[in-house]
Every structure is written in C-alpha cells, then in structure tokens.
Amino acid sequence: MLRISGLSAGYHGGTVLHDLDLDVPEGSVHAVVGHNGAGKTTLVHTVAGLLRPSAGTVGIAGRDVTGRPAHRIARAGVGLVPQGRRVFARLTVAEHIRLAHRPPRDGGGGRPWTPERVLDLLPRLGERSGHRGTDLSGGEQQMLALARALLGSPRVLLLDEPTEGLAPVLVGQILDLVRTLAGEGLAVLLVSPSPASAAQCADTVTVLTSGRVTARLSGPAVRKDPGELHEALALTAH
C-alpha cells in the first residue's frame, strides 16, 4: 500500500535519509525504530509531503506521489499523526472533526470514516466536544490527532511517536488501537524511539541508523526474542 524506494531527503542541502527502501502492505504495521537523529521524523515528513525528497519515490496504492504537496498526498490517502500531536490550538474538538472530515473520493479502502464512527472508536472525544485543542490532556490530544488523521479515510496511516509522554496505561491503549486499525485494512507506519512499543504491535521492524536501514526484523521474531533488536539498536548508539 505504501511503497518507498531509494528515498533520500534532508534539510538545507544536507542529506539525512539515505537511499531508503520500505514497504507497508495493506493491513500491516511497520515500525521504524532508531535513536534520536536517526531520521525517523524526516522519513514521516517526507512521506507526508511536508518535506520534498531529493531522490527516490513514494507510492501510495500504486500511485506515485513523490514530491507532491502535502494536501495532495493527504488526498491520495495518507493520514498523519505527527510528533507532538499538533492539534489546532484555537479549534474545538467538534471543529477539528468537522474540518478534517473528508469523504474519500474513490471509495477509499474499506469503510469510510465518518464523525460518528470516529466517536464510536474514541468516545472520550465526544465528551470533550466543546473544548479547544489546548484544553485537552495529552492523551486526549493524541486521540484528537488520530481522529483528525482518520477522518480523511486514509489507506496509509503515519504515526510519529504516538506514545510519547503518555501514561503507561494509555500507551497500551494506543498500541491496541493501532492493531485494530491495521486489522481493518490500514497500512500503518509507526515511528518510535522505543523498541518495546514497536515490538508490541509491529509485523515488521526496521532499524534506522543515521538515515540508513541497518536491520530489518519480523515482528513475531522480535516478540519472541527482543535480543536481536536491542543488539541492532545498541550497535547504532553512536
């Protein structure tokens, strides 16, 4: 569903991501782990169109969207839950939902997401409907960011450190939610510095070091024996 090949990207003429290949099939979770500065957020931003790649291609459902502006990529079926949530400070929850709701143009993947369906999945948001983005707790903001991404009925969901700064009980809930969404046919790219959360829900784990793929492991194997993943990360500590 999401196919990245030979992708390079960076800032101010410098390159951060080098020649990266990555595939996320429909209904699966692909986790990318790496230390700070490995290029995880750069990867997510490049896929979402917030950063233009210097080389390589990004394909969504067989369509090449490389270098398109962010709003076109969003319409091509990419939803982003960014690092730090970035909910709109001055919009209420209800306004977020109204703004983000966009019926899929071509029927999309499975069932389209409507406000009702999102509120069924995330009932807490219904209770906070009149509150502004900044009045929500961290967990609620995360829910809202997820709702915002889902309301475009994406085929590919990009999650950038969705468990950052959340209480452990919420972390578990979010990761369960990620599994549920993948179960409904979404292709999920999950970026995280924590190998534990990656291992918990991923089908495939990619280790990113200084912008290059240094290991690729299968999720079940990591769950059985996290040693290899830890080794790959430790190796990349510097």
Partner 1 sequence: MGALDAQLVPAVDGVAYGLLLFVVAAGLSLAFGTAGVLNLAHGTLYAVGAYTGAELSDGTWGGLALGLVAGTAAACAAGAVLSAATAPLARRGHLDQALLTFGLALIGGNLLVEGFGADEMPVRVPDALDTSVDLLGHRYPAYRLGFIVMALVLAAAGTWVLTRTRAGAAVRAAADDPEMLATTGLSPRVVHTGVLAAAGALAGAAGVLGAPIIGPGPSTGDTVLMLSLVVVVLGGLRSLWATLVAAIGVGEVQTLGVSVAPDWAPYLLFAAMAAVLILRSGRGLAEPHGPDHDADPPPDPAERLRRRLAQVPWPGRGAPAARRAKAAAAAAGGTGAGRTAAALRAVAPLLALVVVLAVLPMMLDAYALSLAGYALALGLLAVSVTVVTGYAGLPTLGQTAPFAVGAYTTAKLAENDWTVGPVQVVVSAAVAAAFCVVTGPAVIRARGTTVLMITVAVGELTAIAIGQWKSVTGGTDGLAGFPSTQAFWGGEPLFEELAIYQYAAVVVVCVVAVALVLLRSPAGKLLTGSRAAEERMRASGHPVTRYLLVAYVGAGALAGAGGSLLIAVQSYVSPADVGFEIAALALLAAVIGGITSVIGALVGAGLIVYTRDWLAGSWPGHGPLLLGVLFVAAVYLLPRGLAGLVSGAPRAVVADGKDGAGGADGAVGGGASAGLPAPRGPGDAETPEPPESPEPPESEHSPESPDGPAVPGPADADPPVRIRKGTT
The footprint of partner 1 (CB under 8 A) covers: 10-17, 36-42, 48-50, 52, 69-71, 74-75, 78-80, 82-83, 86-91, 95, 98-100, 102, 148-149, 151-152, 211
CB of 177 to partner 1, least distance (A): 19
**Nearest-approach distance from CB 185 to partner 1, in angstroms:** 20
Can you tell me the distance from the alpha carbon of 234 to that of 238, in angstroms, rounded to the nearest whole number? 8
Q: Specify the residue, 1 or 219, whose C-beta has the smaller distance to partner 1.
A: 1
Closer residue to partner 1 in complex, CB, 71/238? 71
Q: Between 152 and 162, whose beta carbon lies closer to partner 1?
A: 152
Q: Which is nearer to partner 1, 139 or 211 (CB)?
A: 211
Q: Find the shortest distance in angstroms from Cβ 191 to partner 1.
A: 10
Q: Least distance (Å) from partner 1 to the CB of residue 45?
A: 9
* DSSP codes, the chain: -EEEEEEEE-STT---EEEEEEEE-TT-EEEEE--TTSSHHHHHHHHHTSS--SEEEEEETTEE-TT--HHHHHHTTEEEE-TT----TTSBHHHHHHHH----TT--SSSPP-HHHHHHH-HHHHHTTTSBGGGS-HHHHHHHHHHHHHTT--SEEEEESTTTT--HHHHHHHHHHHHHHHHTT-EEEEEES-HHHHHHH-SEEEEEETTEEEEEEEHHHHHH-THHHHHHHHHT--
| Radius of gyration of the chain measured on its C-alpha atoms | 17
Terminal Cα-to-Cα distance of the chain (whole angstroms): 33
**Shortest Cβ 222–partner 1 spacing (Å):** 22
State the nearest-atom distance from the C-beta of 209 to partner 1, in Å. Answer: 12
Which residue is associated with the tokens 């209800």? 94
Q: Give me 113's structure tokens.
A: 């997401």
Q: Which two tokens stand for residue 157?
A: 């969901």
Closest distance to partner 1 from the beta carbon of 188 (Å): 16
Closer to partner 1 by Cβ: residue 178 or 219: 178
- Give the nearer residue to partner 1 in terms of CB position, either 159 or 219: 159
52 or 224: CB nearest partner 1 = 52
